[in-house]
């Protein structure tokens, strides 16, 4: 929040850390040949890099973090639409109902945020219009990133069907290959590195090491991001896709609530209603209700037997 344009240095740090870890433990210092040809990873990486940068840049276009997170929760919509168009898939009525709920939730939150931006009393009419236009550009950027992310998922699904599942390898190459692209963002990254170095000093508890507090925040962000991605990878190897989707959905929802409370972002009753639509719609899409029914039935039988 102190440095709203620091998304590039955060993303670069995350990519660099995961790439170095993957180069050592997955690629075996470059000696292990990838199972999927590099040219396919290059296409995937171009999409992945674009999505990451556009999502971060949207925060500079008057997009509040809660709205940013809610909008990205609409990935189910984008995946379904592109699945119908590209893969010719067909879905059940419950799937379409869930998509309608998610769409309604995103529209509600987007509309209410638009009213907040437009009614900013601290701005002149001309400035207010300019801010609102930048906000519309931010919404367009989020929409583009949402569709691009869904297209990347479909492309990755097609690769896995052709070459087999290699999630850890894909994780490494998706973070290693884009690193040269950050040269285009080098001035911005360097600028924020200087700003981070000028932040107030902070003594790390238990170690006694003193460093600028923003570097400490960045370090913690990179570590938690790494743990999150590794956890999702472990889930994909140990659990069903339903469980993975449900866990990721709950993580997004908890992150949203934490962002609202910690950063004290304006969040009205309408925002809560929209969030509820997104959350319930996502759960309907994952068909968690159908899984809970048999589970509760088994629990009742066990209680009766005892």
2 within domain boundaries: no
In a domain, residue 302? The reply is no
DSSP β-bridge partners for residue 211 = 202
**Which distant-in-sequence residues (6+ apart) come within 8 Å of 222 by Cβ?**
13, 14, 17
Tell me phi and psi for residue 88, to 5 degrees. Answer: 60, 40
Residue 286 lies in a domain: yes
**What single string gives the DSSP state of each residue in 227-281?**
HHHHHHHHHHHHS-HHHHHHHHHHHHHHHHHHHHHHHT----HHHHHHHHHHHHH
Nearest to 59 by CA among 123, 11, 127, 128: 11
The confidence score (pLDDT) of residue 253 equals 65
State which residues of the chain have pLDDT below 50. 121, 123, 125-126, 240, 242
CA 60 – CA 5 distance, rounded (Å): 6
Is 235:243 a contact under the CB 8 Å cutoff?
Answer: yes
Residue 227 within a domain: yes
Task: Give a yes or no: residue 189 inside a domain.
Answer: yes
pTM of the model: 0.68
Query: Distance (Å, rounded) from C-alpha 174 to C-alpha 179?
Result: 9
The tens digit of pLDDT for each residue in 15-50 reads: 999 999 999 998 889 889 999 899 998 998 888 778
Residue 303 lies in a domain: no
Residues 156-163: contacts with CB under 8 Å, at least 24 apart: 156/44, 159/36, 159/40, 159/44, 163/35, 163/36
Q: Give the DSSP H or E segment for 195.
A: helix 186-197
CA distance 51 to 67: 17
Could you tell me the residue range of the domain that residue 195 belongs to?
A: 7-297
Per the domain annotation, does 176 fall within a domain? yes
**Tens of pLDDT along 115-142?**
655 555 454 544 567 778 888 888 888 8
Please report the beta strands in the chain, taking only residues with DSSP state E, as ranges in sequence order. Answer: 201-203, 210-212
132 within a domain of the structure (yes/no): yes
State the residue for tokens 């809660």.
Answer: 66
Q: How many domains does the chain have?
A: 1
């Amino acid at each position: 929040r102190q440095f709203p344009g620091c998304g590039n240095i955060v993303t670069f740090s995350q990519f660099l850390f995961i790439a170095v870890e993957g180069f050592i433990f997955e690629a075996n210092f470059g000696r292990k040949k990838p199972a999927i040809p590099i040219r396919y990873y290059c296409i995937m990486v171009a999409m992945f890099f674009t999505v990451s940068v556009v999502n971060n840049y949207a925060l500079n276009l008057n997009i509040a973090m809660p709205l940013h997170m809610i909008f990205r929760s609409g990935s189910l919509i984008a995946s379904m639409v592109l699945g119908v168009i590209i893969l010719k898939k067909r879905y059940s009525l419950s799937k379409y109902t869930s998509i309608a709920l998610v769409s309604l939730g995103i529209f509600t939150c987007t509309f209410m945020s638009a009213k907040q931006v437009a009614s900013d009393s601290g701005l002149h009419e001309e400035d207010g219009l300019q801010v609102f236009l930048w906000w519309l550009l931010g919404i367009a950027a989020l929409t583009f990133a949402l569709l691009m992310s869904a297209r990347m998922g479909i492309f990755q699904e097609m690769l896995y069907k052709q070459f087999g599942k290699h999630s850890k390898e894909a994780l490494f190459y998706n973070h290693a290959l884009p690193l040269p692209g950050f040269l285009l963002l080098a001035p911005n990254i360097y600028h924020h590195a200087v700003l981070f170095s000028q932040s107030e000093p902070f003594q790390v508890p238990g170690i006694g090491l003193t460093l600028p507090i923003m570097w400490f925040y960045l370090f913690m962000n990179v570590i938690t991001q790494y743990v999150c991605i590794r956890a999702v990878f472990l889930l994909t190897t140990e659990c069903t896709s339903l469980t993975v989707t449900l866990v990721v959905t709950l993580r997004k929802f908890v992150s949203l609530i934490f962002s609202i409370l910690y950063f004290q972002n304006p969040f009205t009753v309408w925002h809560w209603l929209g969030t509820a639509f997104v959350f319930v719609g996502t759960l309907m899409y994952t068909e968690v209700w159908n899984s809970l029914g048999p589970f509760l039935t088994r629990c009742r039988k066990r209680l009766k037997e005892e």
